[in-house]
A and B are shown apart, each in its own frame.
Chain A
Amino acid sequence: DIVMTQSPDSLAVSLGERATINCKSSQSVLYASNNNNYLAWYQHKPGQPPKLLIYWASTRESGVPDRFSGSGSGTDFTLTISGLQAEDVAVYYCQQYYTTPFTFGPGTKVDI
């Protein structure tokens, strides 16, 4: 199974500042034949279902504010929230969809 790790476990960021979350996979999730990284990021707020933010490691889902950006390739990935807003307080998960069993990182809690 591909093990996903995230760092930090939690972080507190001032409004308007940048939040950076790292994600590492135990093996590459880059599919050579199409050069796509099978890596997604989700935002999860209490009492709500998770929301897809980023897929293919760096493609923003429709309607997601452009302050959210994803980067990385292979085994190392980053989610950046540029200019944190109050509504961004949530837990963020990375997930690989390269192969089953699909696996999530343990989550990173972002607070103000």
Chain B
Amino acid sequence: EVQLVESGGGFVEPGESLRLSCATSGFTFSKAWLSWVRQAPGKGLEWVGRIKSKADGGTTDYAAPVKGRFTISRDDSREILYMQMNSLKTEDTAIYYCATGNPFDYWGQGTLVTVSS
């Protein structure tokens, strides 16, 4: 059974940092392309960024609002996906989901990030 479990969310002030983790099991992590998707309160879904498998270059792509502030990485030995979020803004407040594949066939339950002064 495929499982993705996000953690690391919380309450921070603008300008601070957080690192989200997504622990996975049940699929071949090293071959997977993985994304982060968020949903701000009362808003729709927004793709945040993606990391390809190392075999496909391991490259990352980001949405414009987070480019230069967020960094996605992966630990294939531990089967964990990460997202380092720096210089957080109030508009980054959202539930953050990790998801596999392209399109996104498996999702975690999400972790809430609240950025407020």
Contacts and interface: CB of A to CB of B under 8 A. Distances in A.
Interface of A: 1, 40, 42, 44, 48-52, 55, 61, 91, 93, 95, 97, 100-107
Among B44, B46, B64, B110: residue with most chain A CB under 10 A? B44
A104 B45 CA distance: 6
Contacts of B44: 91, 93, 104-107
Interface in B22-62: 35, 37, 44-47, 50, 61-62
Contact of B47 (A48, A103, A107): A103
A104 B46 contact: yes
B107 to A, nearest CB: 4
Given A49-B108, A50-B104, A52-B105, A101 B63 contact: yes
Contact of B103 (A48, A55, A106): A55
Nearest to B45: A104
B87 interface: no
Given A40-B103, A55-B103, A93 B45 contact: yes
Contacts of A101: 47, 61-64
